Amino acid sequence: MHLHFLGGARTVTGSQYLLETSRARVLIDCGMFQGSPNESVRNRIPLAYEPGDIDAMLLTHAHLDHCGLIPHVVKEGYRGPILATPATIELAELVLLDSGKLQEEFAKRGDRWARRHPDKAAAEDAQDTARVDAVLALAGEGEDRWPGHVPDPDDPESELRSQPAEIDVDLDEPLYTERDARIALPLFRPVEYDVETEVAPGVHATYLDAGHILGSAIIRVRITGEPDAPDRTIVFSGDLGRRGTPILRDPTVLTHADFVVVESTYGGREHEPEGEAVRILAETVRLVDEAGGVLLVPSFAIGRTQEVVWELDRLLSAGKIPQLRLYLDSPMATKATAIYRRHPECYDDETRRLLDTGETPLDFPGAIVVNTSEQSRAIARAPRPYMIVASNGMLTGGRVVGHLRDLIDDTAATILFVGYQGEGTMGAHLQAGAKTVRIDGQTRDVRCRIRSISGFSAHADGSELLDWVRAFVDGRRPGDAGVPRRVFLVHGDPEAEDALAPKVAALGLEPYIPVWHEAVDLG
């Protein structure tokens, strides 16, 4: 039996792992590569497997970098079940339909641009071809790392992969459409937390709370009945949340596995304590109120928006902030909040208690839900002070960009970042203290105040990741039953994975950082 790392290996996006036994092939996550063109082009190369041969797909949670490739794989012939918690299924439907729609819009915009700028478009096509060749070569290097890899002469895909230069990839076409996404939805099957299910012959999966976003799961996979091999347990962390964050239960601590596949987004970094994060939020709201200004919180639609609203509602109830008007300007976040409301089974004790006492912790009193883009533009004319929560969280697109345009040189405005800012994004530039930025092709001075809170992160930080891994060896010795033989570090940029590896080794465990398309034996 072996595990093939098809994404989230030396990158934070594209999570996808193929587990192959003598009797079954199971995919864990099917995420989209996002971010820079060199990373997103990885979505376009031929799949490393025949989708029709996959028995089941297990989905940890509904973020695009974990589920975004599903419609593409279904279009290519996958017909098996996609197993996820009921909340993940609802959120994934929202995410995938939106993703299909965005890709169609993006392709149309690209078409119009190419017609107006044929020379530039030709140059870009050449650049795209070079990018495809480069990632095919990279995938080839990963494949070659595994001694068990034997090219299959009957497999046309393997033939294709060995001739990278001849692949004709049209990057101008949408990877999939909204219709493709809709076709994939009937394949979803609900699974409950903590109940073991045989998902394919000899492959038994249990979904456990990951505390990351609504419905998120750590997946424990038990493999039984392999000829000449003992039973094996592999734990996939998915994305791990933090203890004590609002709304959701804490990540499950597991103690036994033969192999662990753990995310490492914040491998080398620490968040400020939760209390400090809430203190900064309250202070920022008060300052905006005193200055008669505007607070803009760029936020991701799923997870972060609901948590920020929850914290603001708590602060207001506790009398720690004044009641400012709050605009919720993200149609996707509004839909996601409705899904959060429908799944109280995922809540932690505190949120349940609040609901029992008649509180509405997912709502901020008097909040104004902004539906149309006209309403969004009209906010700029509203009497101050007020707050806006708008997506997306890195200022790379969405309604938040319009507000940025209005507020960037306004000394009475504050932009408060509450999440991870990817390298090269507008959010990262502002966070790094940029004095000017380019918006709509114009150079604009940054005169608004910029603040950041990392304590609201949906991801465990370095110490928390290590605590989670430590539980697999605590009180025992390497080699004892249930102590992992190897800990695979995935879903992290190289610096983060490299920072975490020596700490895992110091626990007496063997860390291993797989590269993209590498396969490892689990026998």
Q: Which positions lie near Zn ion, rule CB under 5 A?
A: 63, 239
Nearer to Zn ion, 63 or 304 (CB): 63
Strands 386-390 and 294-298: parallel
Nearer to Zn ion, 239 or 313 (CB): 239
**Nearest CA among 272, 293, 302 for reference residue 456:** 272
Q: Provide, rounded to whole angstroms, the least separation between the CB of residue 23 and Zn ion.
A: 31
The half-sphere exposure of 252 on its side-chain side, counting CA atoms within 13 A, is: 20
Strands 436-439 and 2-7: unpaired
Nearer to Zn ion, 13 or 233 (CB): 13
Q: Provide, rounded to whole angstroms, the least separation between the CB of residue 238 and Zn ion.
A: 7
Q: What is the dihedral of CA 482, 237, 81, 174, to 10 degrees?
A: -150
445, containing H or E segment? strand 442-445
Kindly tell me the burial class for residue 122, based on how many C-beta atoms sit within 10 Å of its own C-beta (0-12, 13-18, 19 or more).
exposed
8-state DSSP, 395? S
Nearer to Zn ion, 89 or 473 (CB): 89
| Cα of 475 vs its chain's centroid, Å | 33
Kindly tell me the burial class for residue 476, based on how many C-beta atoms sit within 10 Å of its own C-beta (0-12, 13-18, 19 or more).
middle
Q: Provide, rounded to whole angstroms, the least separation between the CB of residue 301 and Zn ion.
A: 12
Q: Provide, rounded to whole angstroms, the least separation between the CB of residue 68 and Zn ion.
A: 11
Strands 294-298 and 232-236: unpaired
Q: Provide, rounded to whole angstroms, the least separation between the CB of residue 43 and Zn ion.
A: 17
Q: Provide, rounded to whole angstroms, the least separation between the CB of residue 457 and Zn ion.
A: 11
Nearer to Zn ion, 39 or 226 (CB): 39
Identity at 297, one-letter amino acid code = V
Q: Provide, rounded to whole angstroms, the least separation between the CB of residue 382 and Zn ion.
A: 33
Q: What is the CA radius of gyration of the chain?
A: 23
Return d(Cα 244, Cα 250) in angstroms, integer. Answer: 6
Q: Provide, rounded to whole angstroms, the least separation between the CB of residue 99 and Zn ion.
A: 14
